[in-house]
Amino acid sequence: MPLEIRPLQPSDALSWIRTRALAYYGPTHDILHNGLVSEQSMRGVAEDRKREIGSPNVWHWKIVDTDLTPGQDEPKNNDGRIIAVAVWKLMNSEDDIQIEARDEATDGTSTTEHASIPTETEQTATGHNSRYKTFLPPELRVDALQSLFIPLDSARDEIMGTEKPFFMLNSLATHPDHQGRGAGKLLLNWGVKKADDEGLITYLDASQIARPIYERRGFEVKRAIEWDRTVWGGEGVDVHYCMVRLPQGRSKHDSALLVSKQPLDQDEAFVAL
């Protein structure tokens, strides 16, 4: 069952969104939505997300099992089935800063994404992104999503700053039927190698389930963000971990100077593999 990493294509968008939705499903997903996400909404998000594929400084990857036939949402000439997807982004790049400055001047919003938030759409809770009006599923509870976005955005900016470039894992999801086969590892390997080659620090948000996986690859928890599900009608507390990996090949002293030092509580984590 050979697995191959390939660039995600616009024609893969529906499979991408479906895989992500299945991988991230759980208590927090239920709270962030009023009922099940309809097929119409799923397709609306997929159509919307097609437009970001190929954007500057953003890398969309898929893992394909070449022994399987394409899934129902995939082109028949896909030469295999998509079982995992990931999105990596260079943050604080010149293009990124120029786009955000332009949008903040026009509508007061900017794009943000978090790998640990289980929603089909990864755009801002305001319903905009940096290049076009974003489709938001009517099932999405924007107020609940915003209560999760704001502290995660703030934590990322405080830890990484808003000027120096860094690499960020925006999203990583493996279809539940194919978890544990190494697909997520392939997608993660690409990102950390890219960061090492460029000498960049890597940032991500992680779940309790995913935290050990990232720790084995050199990521360290810098902060834990707790989100109380009971406030929104659910049960328990969701914990999202802000994690950082220093580029290999640098001295610890040099790399540490690139990251804001923040107090760290022991045993703090959230994302879907």
DSSP string, 148-210: HHHHHHHHHHHHH-SSS-EEEEEEEEE-GGGTTSSHHHHHHHHHHHHHHHHT--EEEEEBTTT
The interaxial angle of helices 39-49 and 13-24, nearest 10 deg, is 120
Number of H helices, E strands in the chain: 8, 7
Do residues 27 and 235 touch, judged by C-beta distance below 8 A? yes
The per-residue pLDDT for 116 is 52
Max CA pair span of the chain: 51
d(CA 228, CA 239): 9
The per-residue pLDDT for 263 is 33
**Dihedral through CA 88, CA 57, CA 128, CA 34, nearest 10?**
-10
d(CA 229, CA 70): 37
The per-residue pLDDT for 12 is 97
The per-residue pLDDT for 134 is 79
Q: For residue 1, give the nearest of 69, 60, 62, 61 by alpha carbon.
A: 69
The per-residue pLDDT for 262 is 39
The per-residue pLDDT for 105 is 35
pTM over 0.85: no
**What type of residue sits at position 141?**
R
User: What is the mean pLDDT for each group of 10 consecutive residues in the chain (273 residues)?
Assistant: 92 96 91 92 94 94 97 91 98 64 38 54 43 76 94 96 96 96 97 97 95 96 97 95 90 46 32 35
Do residues 139 and 41 touch, judged by C-beta distance below 8 A? yes
| Domain ranges within the chain, ordered by starting residue | 3-256
- CATH number attached to the domain at 3-256: 3.40.630.30
DSSP β-bridge partners for residue 88: 59, 169
The per-residue pLDDT for 268 is 29
- The owner of tokens 């919003």 is 109
The per-residue pLDDT for 78 is 87
Q: For residue 270, give the nearest of 219, 224, 203 by alpha carbon.
A: 224
The per-residue pLDDT for 109 is 36
d(CA 178, CA 204): 23
